[in-house]
Amino acid sequence: MDSTSKGAGNMVLGWFRRRAVEIDDVELDRRLADLRRALSGAPPERGGAGPDHGARRRRCGGQDLLAISGDGLDARQTAAIPVPLQLVRSRAGHRGGAVRRSGARNGQARRKQAAAVVVAVVLALSMVVGGFLWYRGAGQPAATPPVSVRVGVLPLVDVAAFYRAVDQGYFRAAGLDVQVVTLASGPEAVRGLETGKLDVAFSSYPGMFTAQATHAADLKIIAPAYIAKPGHLMLVGAPNHSFTRPDQAAHKRIGVTSRGSISDLLAISELQQAGGDPTSISWVTMDMRAMVPAMQRGEIDGAVVAEPFVTTADEAGAVQLLDLGLDLNFEIAMSGWVVPARLAANRPDLVDAFRRALGQGVGDVQNRDVREQMFQQYLGVEAKTAREVRVGSFPAHLDLGDLQRVADLMLEQKMLSTPLDVADMLLPGLPGS
């Protein structure tokens, strides 16, 4: 109980200790004024009647006695509570037999008066206590449960910022209950959005752009994920050395996560620059986690792998053929986060919450130690390997020019039949849009 409530309680107790028969109209009026002040937290005016004493005296002969209104801790404003209270006249104005003849009647009136005041005080205190309890939680609505969001991801270092946001509870603090769905490729993640199995998806940009250009889906890009730097994405040959130079690519079996992904887009463009013939390659689609074991078994001659699998391929003895983050593809935008356009329109609050929480994760993974912790904890990378992983950059904002560069490269490589204006896939007001 706070000091105001204690003061009100002491005032009431003190008032009840007085003998009702000793109260005349002036004394009762003064004590009621003190009671009001005690309930409102103001100090009693013992030194005088107060500036509105006359007004209170004029009301005493009428109907209004006490006032408490409002809810919670603000229940201190005055509002009239009608009480049919009749005050007795002061005995100072009577003499002799008149006092004796009216004694019994006056005593009865004073007892009724005191009883009415008691009822009014009890009602007032009940309102104060009830409001206090309501404020303290008795009447508070239950906390809103977090919104369940199904998020499709790939087991790549690109999603380190996302996993950091999960690990630190940033999504839950933003009101989201993230359900992580691990997939094998970006196009598969986009199909999850098309079919309604996912709400948000991580994907390489070619998968998004193909779906948008062919009208298979209507998508909005809400955040960037990763920009390539040298060493992050590689075309490698099998440890048995069946494929050791780019110009040997013809008729080779090369593992790739899917056709129409960033992996084969960059591999094709770099092979052309290096004098290889990508048109005769036998592309074998598989989960990137399965590529190094498949090369070791001789099932494929090479693979397009991204970190952390570039490092694991090195450790297995694979041959590095082409760094796909060099030359024309230097610092090319690789991947981002995308939602169905209908979700972006109907639930902008959800999109904003996701972006805010993800942004906190992006800030954290600028620290190398944090990144390595995420690689070990969520990607299953051993500590030694995590230290060797070569990473790109985790941008904080979308750059329209970077995204359009990917779409134009797809058009050049005939992965798109018509030009795609990526600006139509960005939300209004986002940086870069």
20 and 109 inside one domain: yes
214 and 224 inside one domain: yes
Across 384-408, average pLDDT = 92
433 within domain boundaries? no
32 and 91 inside one domain: yes
165 and 178 inside one domain: yes
270 and 185 inside one domain: no
Query: Which range of residues forms the domain containing residue 381?
Result: 147-229+331-425
State how many domains the chain has: 3
53 and 122 inside one domain: yes
222 and 83 inside one domain: no
220 and 343 inside one domain: yes
431 within domain boundaries? no
Strands (E), 327-388: 333-340
76 within domain boundaries? yes
pLDDT per position as a tens digit, 149-178: 999 999 889 999 999 999 999 999 999 999
61 within domain boundaries? yes
366 and 221 inside one domain: yes
- Can you give the CATH number for the domain in which 284 is found? 3.40.190.10
**Residues recorded for the chain:** 433
Q: Is it true that the peptide bond before 308 is cis, omega within 30 degrees of 0?
A: yes
pLDDT beyond 60 at 67: no
171 within domain boundaries? yes
430 within domain boundaries? no
**Domain limit, last residue, from 120, 138, 156:** 138
103 and 7 inside one domain: yes
**Mean of per-residue pLDDT scores for the chain:** 77
Q: What does DSSP assign to residue 393?
A: B
336 within domain boundaries? yes
220 within domain boundaries? yes
340 and 316 inside one domain: no
- Tell how many helices (H) and how many strands (E) occur in the chain: 16, 12
At 95, the pLDDT band (50, 70, 90 cuts) reads very low
**Domain limit, last residue, from 329, 346, 370:** 329
What distance in Å separates the CA atoms of residue 385 and residue 364, rounded to the nearest whole number? 21
Across 43-50, average pLDDT = 46
pLDDT per position as a tens digit, 268-324: 988 888 887 888 899 999 999 999 999 999 999 999 999 999 999 999 999 999 999
> Which pTM was predicted?
0.64
Alpha helices in 23-167 (DSSP H): 25-40, 53-60, 96-133, 160-167
**Domain limit, last residue, from 329, 359, 381:** 329
Strands (E), 262-363: 282-285, 302-306, 319-323, 333-340
